[in-house]
Copies of this chain bind each other. A is one copy, B any other.
Amino acid sequence: MRKIDPEKHAARRQVILDAAIACFARKGFHGTSTAEICAEAGMSPGNLFHYFPTKHAIIAAIVEEERQETADFFRELHEAPDLFAALLGFMDAAMGLAADPVYSSLALEIAAEAMRDERIGALVAANDAEMRAALSALIRAAHARGQIDTAIDPEAGARWIAALIDGIFGRIAVDPGFKPDQEGATMHLLLTRFLRPPRDAASASSDAAEIG
């Protein structure tokens, strides 16, 4: 008998995923036919459906791939001496990804699909929760080292940092004048003012008073 070669199998799956990513970024999930993915991947529908049972399974695999990549990125982040600087580095990396039109189109498409299809929604929500958990852990560690203002609640801070990342992708989608490589300075200023510990106790408490 013959056994399945896991490496070859995975490589073949990846060919399909890469083709699907290109198509979904170009025309969206529902705007792409399985025939188009077949053409991009250079294979027959019989072959494609040998590796994925449904079109839905393809986008689910893409979301899972995404999760892996984000998790890998965070694994290295905690070793940095200055955690606030590490956070800025993470945000710069997010800007770099957003600058890639394929990546940003895909991210937006997945977010939209998450609202329509609750199976995708659950996967995306899990990814997001994982990222926010890493971010709030980073904030907590930075609190201990005095690198981020303890007035910032770790969970709330993580949420708004995540919102800012979502916002970057939103800008790419609707604002052709938003150039990631020129917007880094303002983003750093925003994050610095939002998160950095105040120089003296008085100014921190007066900020808090203003938001009442």
A interface residue numbers (CB < 8 A to B): 26-28, 30-31, 104-105, 108-109, 111-116, 121, 124-125, 127-129, 132, 151, 153, 156-157, 159-160, 162-171, 173-178, 183, 185-190, 192-194, 196, 199, 203, 206-208, 210-211
Q: Which residues of B contact A168 (CB under 8 A)?
A: 163
Q: Which residues of B contact A170 (CB under 8 A)?
A: 111, 162-163, 165-167, 169-170
Q: Which residues of B contact A171 (CB under 8 A)?
A: 159, 162-163, 166
Q: By the criterion CB–CB under 8 Å, are A111 and B186 in contact? A: no
Interface of A is mostly: helix
Q: By the criterion CB–CB under 8 Å, are B164 and A116 in contact? A: no
Residue of A26, A166, A185 with most chain B CB atoms under a 10 A cut-off? A166
What is the minimal beta-carbon distance from A166 to any residue of chain B, in angstroms? 3
A28 in complex: contacting residue of B112, B156, B163, B185, CB < 8 Å: B112
Q: Which residues of B contact A186 (CB under 8 A)?
A: 153, 156-157, 159-160
What is the minimal beta-carbon distance from A90 to any residue of chain B, in angstroms? 16
A174 in complex: contacting residue of B26, B128, B185, CB < 8 Å: B128
Q: A167 to B173, alpha carbons, bound, how many Å? A: 12
Q: Which residues of B contact A124 (CB under 8 A)?
A: 173-174
Q: By the criterion CB–CB under 8 Å, are B112 and A111 in contact? A: yes
29 A–B contacts, CB within 8 A, in A order: A26-B116, A28-B30, A28-B112, A31-B116, A104-B115, A108-B111, A108-B112, A111-B112, A125-B176, A129-B175, A156-B183, A159-B175, A159-B177, A159-B183, A159-B186, A160-B187, A162-B167, A162-B170, A163-B170, A164-B164, A164-B167, A165-B167, A166-B170, A166-B171, A166-B173, A167-B170, A189-B211, A192-B207, A194-B194
Q: A31 to B117, alpha carbons, bound, how many Å? A: 10
What is the minimal beta-carbon distance from A173 to any residue of chain B, in angstroms? 5
What is the minimal beta-carbon distance from A191 to any residue of chain B, in angstroms? 9
Q: By the criterion CB–CB under 8 Å, are A193 and B175 in contact? A: no
Q: Which residues of B contact A188 (CB under 8 A)?
A: 210-211
